[in-house]
Amino acid sequence: MKVKIDKIFLYTNITIREERNKMKKFTVCLLIGAMAASMLTGCGSNGGSSDSSDSKADSSSETMTIMMNGSDSDAFMEGYRKIVDGFNESNEYGVKVEIQNVTNSDYKTKLTTMMASDSEPDIIFTWPLGYLENFVNGDKIVSLQKYLDEDEDWKNSFNGGILDPLTYDGEVYAIPTQQSTAIMYYNKAIFDKYGLEVPTTYDEYVQVCDTLKENGVTPVALASTADDAWLVSQYIQQLSDGIKGEDLFNSLKDGTGKWNDEGMVEAGKLFQEEVNKGYFEDGFTGVSREEAQLQFANGQTAMYFNGCWEISNLDKKENAAEAENISCFLMPAVNEEYAGVEVGSVDTSYAITKNCKNVDAAVALLKYMTNEESTSLLLYDYGRTPSTNFDIDNSKLTPLCADFINLLGDVKVQTPWFDRVDTDLGNEFNNTAIGIANGDDVQEAFDTLQSYAESKSK
């Protein structure tokens, strides 16, 4: 059986190019300072990165660098290395691309530091929306519009609307290699043991968690260290999506809504109730993403909240529960009328910086990364949901990936992570979420966040 993904579920009917003039603009110098100050992890001697490429440039070759968000422990990085190696062997420009791996926790700090010193690589991984806009406004990024216009086949290969979150003033500045959605993974064997069904309402979800707790099973693995704060805010955002839908998200995005809106406060309180009832692993506020993933993979928890990008890690994790025991579902909405409003957006996008000396070769790499051969490799071997439209052969998907692809039919609209919409304010939301996880008063926490948002707009 073959299926086709031919759209992305847009978070709004208004694209970036229509909204951009409504958003408050900051100078890039000030923004870089704020971003660096908000991330205290530091780069270390190597910035948490490792330079890697299986194909090394010889003395007669031009070397081009691409900075990727990921570590050697991320299974999908193997797929991107294979693609880069294939380009190195076949491109007509005589270019050899070298990969710089940077871990997720270090990426933003390292990139903003490099941007400030004008030492950024030729090609960079980027998040969409407000994050990339900062660098576009600073004239750090090459517009790709003319290259798309000159190659209609390439431009038309992308799923409908998927380039909009990377478009500013009518021009595309980055190319996505996948799209992502927040999902809940679950262990089918544990569910079967206790006679549990996949919940379709929030009340059913609570009942599942209560039953697991009664039987001595930790319901959910959730990472919430300082580096993984976005996962906690993702959980609260998903609850808010199911309480008030996309209207609440859009009002916060365009500044007409308030962070202490009753919908956000209710979401925070529900999350804190779950924390107090012991739905998450012991000491979860000190558990990293890797540790939470391993606990779930080893059968120590029944569920694991993260995103579809974890599919390859769970499929390939050594010593994990058998892969066929792992499936996934969309977090049920608190109010059923908002079912299908899910946290998600375009993902693993790449932009060409103004430092690049061979833009044509860099564009050729982006085309290579998004051709059917490359996207098929990422999908079938690493569970990366494609950004381009082509017939998908279900027989080549892993069971877990097939389950996720089937879930996409239930997604009606996506709301991107707030730290992609506005980096500074989004990071404050992440910090607020961690505070709530640690017991801060929910109303006071969102009142403080709203005050911060108002101080920014002055």
Q: Return d(Cα 134, Cα 423) in angstroms, integer.
A: 9
Stretch among 44-48, 184-188, 292-296, 427-431 having the lowest mean pLDDT: 44-48
Name the β-bridge partners of 185: 304, 328
> What average pLDDT does the structure give for the chain?
87
Q: What angle do CA 397, 402, 404 make, to 5 degrees?
A: 135
Task: Quote the CA–CA distance of 329 and 367 in Å, as a whole number.
Answer: 32
Judge whether residue 193 has pLDDT over 70. yes
Cβ distance 388 to 159 under 8 Å?
yes
Look at residue 426 in the predicted model and tell me its pLDDT. 95
End-to-end CA gap in the chain: 56
Rounded CA gap, 52 and 49, in Å?
Answer: 9
Other beta carbons within 10 angstroms of residue 94's beta carbon come to 12
pLDDT of residue 194 exceeding 50, the answer is yes
**CB 353 within 8 Å of CB 121:** yes
What pLDDT shows up at residue 105? 85
CB of 359 within 8 A of CB of 342?
Answer: no
Is the Cβ–Cβ distance between 157 and 388 less than 8 Å?
A: yes
Would the pLDDT of 38 be above 50? no
- Which tokens in the block code for residue 319? 């010593």
Instruction: Give 355's pLDDT tier (boundaries 50, 70, 90).
Output: very high
Residue type, 303: M
CA proximity to 343, closest of 6, 70, 11, 12 = 11
What's the CA gap between 426 and 130, in Å, rounded?
10
Helix (H) or strand (E) holding 216: none
Q: What is the pLDDT of residues 53-86, one digit of tens each?
A: 444 444 457 999 999 999 888 889 999 999 999 9
CB-based contacts of 343: which residues, under 8 Å, 6+ apart?
A: 181, 182, 234, 237, 238, 241, 414, 415, 416, 417
Prediction pTM value? 0.84
Q: How many CB atoms lie within 10 A of CB 410?
A: 12
H/E stretch holding 29 reads helix 28-38
pLDDT at 44: 31
pLDDT in tens, 210-243: 999 999 999 999 999 988 999 999 999 999 999 9
More reliable by pLDDT, 95 or 39: 95
Decide if pLDDT at 286 tops 80: yes
Is the per-residue pLDDT at 26 higher than 80?
no
Confidence tier at 317 by pLDDT (50, 70, 90)? low
- What are the structure tokens assigned to 207, written together? 């009942």
Q: Which positions ≥6 away from 431 have C-beta within 8 Å?
A: 229
CA–CA distances in Å: residue 147 to residues 21, 362, 429: 25, 11, 37
